[in-house]
Amino acid sequence: MPNPYPTALRARAVHAYEAGAEAYDVVAARFEVGVATLQRWVQRQRTTGAVDPLAKAGGWTSPVDRALLQTLVDERPDRTTEELTRAYNQRAAPSARVHRSSILRALQRLGYVFKKNDRGRQNSIVRACKTSGPSSKPGPPR
């Protein structure tokens, strides 16, 4: 979602509409906003006395309990994501069952990455590390 128009622009546009005898479309064109947008700002100014943007709302919160997930990872960091999901769903309340993709997203938010099994090496869930320096420069041309 894009950021809202600045409050100063809103106030100038509403003031220009209310101070003059120009129609909504003329003022909206001058300030390069939509006509319906200007109408909402004017209506809001008249009802509340302010044209400040509303706070962003909505969104979605993860159903995964981070503390429980952290405990499960600490107990056995070599679990596969399927095993970790199964263990989480066994310990969580029946109404809090989650899918493997939810566990993967929660692990990512906690800063973990899932290391895949590579030729007999065990799977593991480890903290993601940040690079310590700039990337290497390309070598001389061949």
Q: What global pTM score does this model have?
A: 0.48
Statement: 66-127 belongs to CATH 1.10.10: yes
pLDDT per residue as tens digits for the range 95-119: 889 999 999 999 999 988 766 655 6
pLDDT for 19 beyond 70: yes
For 73-104, give the secondary structure using H, E and C. Answer: HHHCCCCCHHHHHHHHHHHCCHHHCCCHHHHH
Q: What's the pLDDT score for residue 106?
A: 92
| Residue 108 identity | Q
Q: Which whole number is the average pLDDT over 79-99?
A: 89
Residue positions counted in the chain: 142
Contact assessment for residue 103 and residue 65, using Cβ atoms and an 8 Å cutoff: no
Per domain, the residue ranges of the chain are 7-48, 66-127
Is a pLDDT exceeding 60 seen at residue 122?
A: no
pLDDT of residue 32 exceeding 60, the answer is: yes
> Which parts of 7-80 fold into alpha helices (H)?
7-19, 24-31, 35-48, 66-75
